[in-house]
C-alpha cells in the first residue's frame, strides 16, 4: 500500500488518547483489530445490517464494518472492552450476565453498546423504545426474549 | 409472547449414591458469561498468526460445466499476491482430493468440472485481505456449460443431467455402503422402510388422503462466518484452527487426504459464533490445509456472509404423503415418498435422509407403513443439517396433513393426534420399541397452555385469527461414540477434556455440571478444555441432539474413574475403607468425619504437591444397522425426542400480513441438566424454525 493512501489519525479509544496510521480504505473495525488487538467489535454481515460490529463514536452507535478509520480522527470511541471499570463489569454487562442475554455471544457486544446508547437517551425505556433501538442488532441464536429482559434489567441497575 | 415449557420429571436421586443431586438439575449461568459480555471470549474468527496469508476463493459462475482453462495471470500480477492455488496444485500433495463425511465426492478445489454456482475453483493467497479479494475477481475461468438441474424430483427422474459419474460412499457410515459403485443416477441414497402391508392398510381405510408438501432451502447464516486457519507445524505436521462442530472428524479426514497418520494433524476450536449444523464435518479445512502446506505459511480462509450461501444450506424437500384413515380417525396406513435436495455434494445429506427419513410417519402408531427417502444430487450448493437434522421438513408435511384429515373427518385436531399417538412400549415403524417418549404428556400440556378447550375468537372483518398445534418426533443420531478425560492437577483443581464444541448451546456448562456432580465440586470450579485433538479425546461431532447424552455420559464415567482413584488414595492415607468415603466440597470425606482435600490427596499420592490423575470415560450406545431392504432395526436409536408447538396467528386479509400472537413450545426433555439453559435452547430454536 503506498504512502499517499495512508493517513495518521488520533482519537480517544476507551478513554485513552491513541494514534494510528491507517489506509484510507480501511474500516475502523480492521484498525481496532490490527492496531489495538480489540476483537469485541466483529465483522459478520459486512453490510451494516447485523450490528455485530457496533461501537460508539461520540456516544452514538455506528457499524464498524462500514465506518472508515480515517473518519475517527478526533473522535471519542468506545468498544465493549472499554465498559468495565477497575475490574467491575458495567451494569449493562452485569444485566446481560444475570438474564443470560446471549447464547453464542458473537452479537453480544453490539447489543450491549446499542443498549448503552439507548439508556443514555431513554433511562426508562418503554418496550417499544427497546425494540426500536435494537432493531439494527440481530441475534442468529434468537435469544431475543432474554436480551430484552437484560435491557430492562440494565435500566434498573443503572437507575439504582 | 413465546412460552416454552419443559415437561419436568420428578426429582431423581443419583442412583448409585442414593442422594439428592447438587449440581445436576440446577439452572446456572454459562461458565463463560463474563468473557461473552466483555469482548474477551475466544473465537477462531479473532485469530491472526505472524506471517499469515489471507486466502480468498474464486468461485464458479455457472451451475454445471467443464473447466476449459483457468487464467490466473492478472491475479498473480497484483502487488501482494503470494500465490494462486488451483486443483493442479492441490494434486501435487493430495492426489485424490475428494472429501466428505458420507461420500468422497467433493474436490478441495473444482477438478475438471464445476457442479454448482459458487463452487471454489481457485484460492488467491495474499498478504492483505483486500488485495486477495480484488485479485480473486481477476482470476479468469473459461467453462463449457452443461445442462443443470435444480429440482430434486426432476433430478431423480430418468434423463436428468448426471452430476456425479459414480457414487463413492466414504465408508465411515455402514448404512451407506450398499450404494457404492452405482452409476448414471443422481440418487445418492435410497432409504426404504417397510412395515406391515401397505396395500392392506389402504384397503382397511375409509378414506385416503394424498398431498404433496414442499419446503425451501434455508441458510444457517452463522454470525461468525466459517473460518479456518492452517499452519505447517514443523516438517510433517499441520495445525488447523477452525470454527468447526466436528474437530475429531476434521483430523481424520485431513489425515486421510494427506495419507498421514492422524497424530500428525492437530485440530483445535474455540467457542463458535453459531453453528446450527453449518460448521459440521469438513468445510474450509482441507482447502486451508493444502494452501498452508503448499506455501509453507499460515493461511486463513474466512468466508463473508454471502459466501456462506454457496457453502451449505438446509435441504429443500418434496414430500408426497398418502394416508389411509377410518371414519373414526384411526390411521391405517401411511406411505411417504421424500425427495431431499442435497445439492451438488453429499456433505451429510445422505445421513440426514436416512436418519430423519425413518421418522416420516410421525409420532403415530400405524400398522402399515411404507417410506421412501431419496437423497438427490442437484446443481444447487450442498445441503446438510440445520437445527433438527431434516426433521422439520417431515413434520411440516405430516402435521399439515394431520390438520387436513382432522378437518375432513370433523374430528378435533388434538383429538385426532391423541387417537393415533405412538405410546411407550409400542413398536415404531422401524421395529424399535418406543420408550421414554411422552406423547400424551406433551399433548396435555399443549392443550392446557393453548387453552384448547375454550372457545376461540376467529376474528371478523379484515382481521381473521387461527390457531394450530403440531408435534414431531426425532430419533437421536446413531451409531456414534464419545470419549472424555477428567484431569485432577497437583493442586487438586480439575479440568474436563472433551471435544464437544460449545457453539452457544451451553455444553461447557452442562458438561461441567455433570463432572462437578460426580466429584462433589461447585460447577464453576470445573474447567472445560476446548477441543484440541492433540489433547482432547475423540468425539463423533456436536450434532443431532447427541452431546448432552453421549458426551455427558462419557464425562460422567471419566469423573467416576477419577473419583475412584481419589477415594482409593484417600482410603490408603486415612486407613479407612473406600466405601466409607465420598467426594464433597472439593474434598474426600469419611463417615467418621475425617477429611482430605483434593490437594492433600494429590500430596498423598505423589509425595509432593504435583502430579496428575486422569480418568477416562467412553460412551457408545448399542445400535442395530437397519436392513437396507426393509429399514427394519430393533435398535435404531438410543432415545427418542418428542416436541410440540402451538400457535395463534392473526391474518390481515387486506395486506396479507401474518402476526404470530401466541407461540407455545412443549418438549419432553427427560431430566434437564440445566433447566434454564434447556428452555433457552427451545425457545429460540422455535424462532429460527418459524423464520425458516
Residue in chain B lying closest to A141 (CA): B684
Does A77 share its domain with A132?
no
List all residues 6 or more positions away from B293 whose beta carbon is below 8 Å from its beta carbon: B93, B230, B232, B238, B258
Task: Establish if B29 touches chain A: CB-CB under 8 angstroms.
Answer: yes
Name the pLDDT band for A160 (thresholds 50, 70, 90).
Answer: confident
Considering the domain architecture, whether residues A96 and A151 belong to the same structural domain is answered as: yes
Q: Residue B223: which of A50, A89, A145 has the nearest Cβ?
A: A50
* C-alpha span between B522 and A6 (Å, rounded): 53
Helices (H), ranges, B280-321: 285-295, 305-308
Instruction: Tell me the pLDDT band of B50, cut-offs 50, 70 and 90.
Output: very high
Q: Is residue A98 domain-shared with residue A73, that is, in the same domain?
A: no
Q: A88 CB near a chain B CB, below 8 Å?
A: no
Core vs surface per residue B579-612: b (16+ CB within 10 A) or e: eebebeebbbbbeeebebebbbbbbbbeeeeeee
CA pair distance B364, B406, nearest whole angstrom: 14
Q: What is the DSSP string of B646-660?
A: EEEEEEETTT--EEE
What is the interface pTM, i.e. ipTM, of the complex? 0.97
| A102 and A136 inside one domain | yes
Looking at the fold, whether A9 and A62 belong to one and the same domain comes out as yes
The CATH number of the domain holding residue A49 is 3.10.20.30
Cell reading at B423? 405410546
Q: What is the pLDDT, as a whole number, of residue B686?
A: 72
Q: How many domains does chain A have?
A: 2
In CATH, the number for domain B480-619 is 3.30.365.10
Return the beta strands (E) in B226-330 as ranges. 227-232, 238-242, 265-268, 299-302, 313-314, 316-325
Is residue A110 domain-shared with residue A78, that is, in the same domain?
Answer: no
Q: What is the DSSP string of B355-418?
A: HHHTTTT-SB--SEEEEEEEEEE-SSPPEE--SSTTHHHHHHHHHHHHHHHHHHHT--HHHHHH
Domain boundary among A52, A82, A112: A82
Question: Which of B279, B271, B290 shows the shortest CA–CA distance to B246?
Answer: B279
Same domain? A78 vs A119: no
Clarify whether residues A65 and A97 are in a common domain.
no
C-alpha cell at B127: 498478504
Select from A116, A89, A111 the least CA-distant residue to A101.
A111
Using one digit for the tens of pLDDT, what is the confidence trace for B356-394?
999 999 999 999 999 999 999 999 999 999 988 899 999
Express each pLDDT in B149-189 by its tens digit.
999 999 999 999 999 999 999 887 777 888 888 999 999 99
Predicted confidence (pLDDT) at residue B661 exceeds the cutoff of 60: yes
Q: What are the pLDDT digits (tens) for A42-57?
A: 999 999 999 999 999 9
A22 at interface of B, judged by CB pairs closer than 8 A: no
Q: Are residues A97 and A117 in the same domain?
A: yes
Q: Are residues A17 and A53 in the same domain?
A: yes
Q: In this structure, how many other beta carbons lie within 10 angstroms of the beta carbon of residue B269?
A: 28
Domain end among A50, A82, A114: A82
For residue B470, the cross-strand partners are B645
- Interchain contact B50–A (C-beta under 8 A): no
Specify which residues B528 forms β-bridges with: B496
Mean pLDDT of chain B: 94
Tell me: pLDDT of B3 over 70.
Answer: no
Mean pLDDT of A6-23: 97
Structural domain boundaries in chain B: 45-147+240-304, 480-619
Contacts of A139 in chain B (CB under 8 A): 223
Does residue B8 register a pLDDT over 50?
no
Query: A48 and A7 share a domain?
Result: yes
The mean pLDDT value for A63-67 works out to: 98
Give the pLDDT confidence of A103-125 residue by residue, as tens digits. 999 999 999 999 999 999 999 99
A29 and A58 in one domain?
yes
**Span B45-147+240-304 CATH architecture:** Alpha-Beta Complex (3.90)
Out of A61, A82, A103, a domain closes at A82
d(CA B125, CA B120): 14
- Say how many Å lie between the first and final Cα of chain B, rounded: 19
Residue span of the structural domain in which A97 resides? 91-159
Is the Cβ of A55 closer than 8 Å to some Cβ of chain B?
A: no
Residue B523 has pLDDT above 80, yes or no: yes
* Pick from B146, B145, B151: nearest CA to B186: B151
Q: Which three cell numbers stand for residue B639?
A: 432415545
| pTM tops 0.90 | yes
| Residue numbers in A near B43 (CB within 8 A) | 39, 42, 106
Least Cα separation, residue B680 to chain A (angstroms) = 7
Amino acid at each position: 500500500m503506498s504512502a499517499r493512501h495512508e493517513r495518521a489519525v488520533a482519537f480517544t479509544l476507551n478513554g485513552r488518547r491513541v494514534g494510528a496510521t491507517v489506509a484510507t480504505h480501511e474500516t475502523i473495525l480492521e484498525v481496532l483489530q490490527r492496531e489495538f488487538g480489540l476483537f469485541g467489535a466483529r465483522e459478520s454481515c459486512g453490510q451494516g445490517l447485523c450490528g455485530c460490529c457496533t461501537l460508539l463514536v461520540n456516544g452514538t452507535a455506528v457499524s464498524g464494518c462500514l465506518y472508515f478509520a480515517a473518519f475517527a480522527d478526533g473522535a471519542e470511541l468506545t468498544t465493549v472492552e472499554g465498559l468495565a471499570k477497575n475490574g467491575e463489569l458495567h451494569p449493562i454487562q452485569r444485566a446481560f450476565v444475570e438474564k443470560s442475554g446471549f447464547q453464542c455471544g458473537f452479537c453480544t457486544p453490539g447489543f450491549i453498546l446499542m443498549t448503552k446508547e439507548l439508556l443514555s437517551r431513554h433511562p426508562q425505556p418503554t418496550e417499544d423504545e427497546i425494540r426500536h433501538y435494537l432493531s439494527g442488532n440481530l441475534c442468529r441464536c434468537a435469544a431475543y426474549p432474554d436480551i430484552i429482559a437484560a435491557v430492562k434489567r440494565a435500566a434498573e441497575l443503572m437507575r439504582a | 409472547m413465546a412460552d416454552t415449557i419443559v415437561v419436568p420429571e420428578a426429582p431423581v436421586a443419583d442412583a448409585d449414591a442414593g442422594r439428592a443431586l447438587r449440581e445436576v438439575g440446577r439452572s446456572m449461568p454459562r461458565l463463560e458469561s463474563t468473557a461473552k459480555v466483555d469482548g474477551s471470549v475466544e473465537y477462531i474468527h479473532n485469530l491472526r498468526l505472524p506471517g499469515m496469508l489471507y486466502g480468498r476463493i474464486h468461485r464458479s459462475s455457472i451451475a454445471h460445466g467443464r473447466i476449459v482453462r483457468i487464467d490466473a495471470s492478472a491475479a498473480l500480477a497484483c502487488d501482494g499476491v503470494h500465490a494462486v492455488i488451483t486443483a493442479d496444485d492441490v494434486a501435487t500433495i493430495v492426489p485424490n482430493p475428494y472429501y466428505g463425511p458420507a461420500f468422497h465426492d467433493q474436490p478441495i478445489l473444482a477438478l475438471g468440472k464445476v457442479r454448482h454456482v459458487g463452487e471454489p475453483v481457485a484460492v488467491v493467497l495474499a498478504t492483505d485481505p483486500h488485495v486477495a479479494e480484488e485479485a480473486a475477481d481477476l482470476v479468469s475461468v473459461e467453462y463449457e456449460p452443461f445442462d443443470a438441474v435444480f429440482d430434486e424430483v426432476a433430478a431423480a427422474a430418468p434423463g436428468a443431467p448426471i452430476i456425479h459419474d459414480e457414487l463413492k460412499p466414504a465408508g465411515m457410515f455402514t448404512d451407506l455402503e450398499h450404494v457404492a459403485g452405482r452409476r448414471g443416477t443422481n440418487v445418492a441414497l435410497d432409504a426404504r422402510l417397510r412395515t406391515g402391508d401397505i396395500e392392506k392398510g389402504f384397503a382397511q381405510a375409509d378414506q385416503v388422503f394424498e398431498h404433496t408438501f414442499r419446503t425451501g432451502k434455508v441458510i444457517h447464516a452463522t454470525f461468525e462466518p466459517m473460518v479456518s486457519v492452517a499452519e505447517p507445524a514443523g516438517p510433517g505436521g499441520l495445525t488447523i484452527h477452525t470454527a468447526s462442530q466436528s474437530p475429531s472428524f476434521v483430523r481424520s479426514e485431513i489425515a486421510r487426504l494427506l495419507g498421514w497418520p492422524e497424530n500428525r494433524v492437530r485440530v483445535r476450536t474455540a467457542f463458535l459464533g453459531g453453528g446450527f449444523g453449518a460448521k459440521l464435518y469438513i468445510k474450509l479445512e482441507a482447502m486451508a490445509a493444502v494452501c498452508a502446506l503448499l506455501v509453507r505459511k499460515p493461511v486463513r480462509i474466512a468466508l463473508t456472509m454471502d459466501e456462506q450461501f454457496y457453502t451449505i444450506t438446509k435441504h429443500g424437500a418434496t414430500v408426497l404423503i398418502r394416508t389411509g384413515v377410518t371414519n373414526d380417525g384411526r390411521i391405517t396406513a401411511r406411505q411417504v415418498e421424500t425427495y431431499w435436495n442435497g445439492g451438488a455434494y453429499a456433505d451429510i445429506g445422505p445421513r440426514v435422509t436416512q436418519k430423519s427419513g425413518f421418522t416420516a410417519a410421525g409420532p403415530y402408531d400405524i400398522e402399515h407403513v411404507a417410506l421412501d427417502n431419496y437423497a438427490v444430487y442437484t446443481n444447487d450448493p450442498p445441503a446438510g443439517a440445520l437445527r433438527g437434522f431434516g426433521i422439520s421438513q417431515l413434520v411440516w408435511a405430516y402435521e399439515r396433513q394431520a390438520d387436513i384429515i382432522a378437518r375432513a373427518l370433523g374430528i378435533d385436531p388434538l383429538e385426532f393426534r391423541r387417537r393415533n399417538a405412538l405410546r411407550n412400549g409400542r413398536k415404531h415403524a422401524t421395529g424399535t420399541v418406543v420408550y421414554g417418549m411422552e406423547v400424551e404428556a406433551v399433548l396435555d400440556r399443549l392443550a392446557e397452555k393453548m387453552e384448547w378447550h375454550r372457545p376461540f375468537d376467529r376474528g371478523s372483518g379484515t382481521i381473521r385469527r387461527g390457531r394450530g398445534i403440531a408435534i414431531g418426533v426425532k430419533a437421536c443420531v446413531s451409531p456414534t461414540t464419545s470419549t472424555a478425560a477428567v484431569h485432577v492437577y497437583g493442586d487438586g483443581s480439575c479440568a474436563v477434556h472433551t471435544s464437544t464444541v460449545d457453539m452457544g448451546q451451553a455444553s461447557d456448562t452442562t458438561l461441567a455440571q455433570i463432572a462437578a456432580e460426580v466429584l462433589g465440586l461447585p460447577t464453576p470450579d470445573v474447567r472445560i478444555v476446548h477441543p484440541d485433538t492433540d489433547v482432547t479425546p475423540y468425539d463423533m461431532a456436536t450434532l443431532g441432539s447427541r452431546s448432552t447424552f453421549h458426551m455427558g455420559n462419557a464425562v460422567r464415567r471419566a469423573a467416576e474413574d477419577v473419583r475412584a482413584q481419589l477415594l482409593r488414595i484417600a482410603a490408603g492415607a486415612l486407613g479407612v475403607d473406600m466405601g466409607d468415603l465420598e467426594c464433597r466440597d472439593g474434598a474426600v470425606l469419611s463417615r467418621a468425619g475425617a477429611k482430605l482435600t483434593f490437594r492433600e490427596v494429590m500430596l498423598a499420592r505423589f509425595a509432593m504437591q504435583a502430579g496428575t490423575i486422569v480418568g477416562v470415560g467412553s460412551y457408545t450406545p448399542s445400535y442395530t444397522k437397519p436392513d437396507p431392504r426393509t429399514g427394519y432395526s430393533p435398535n435404531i436409536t438410543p432415545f427418542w425426542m418428542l416436541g410440540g408447538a402451538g400457535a395463534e396467528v392473526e391474518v390481515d386479509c387486506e395486506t396479507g400480513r401474518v402476526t404470530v400472537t401466541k407461540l407455545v413450545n412443549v418438549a419432553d426433555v427427560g431430566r434437564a441438566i440445566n433447566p434454564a439453559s434447556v428452555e433457552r435452547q427451545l425457545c429460540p430454536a422455535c424462532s429460527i424454525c418459524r423464520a425458516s
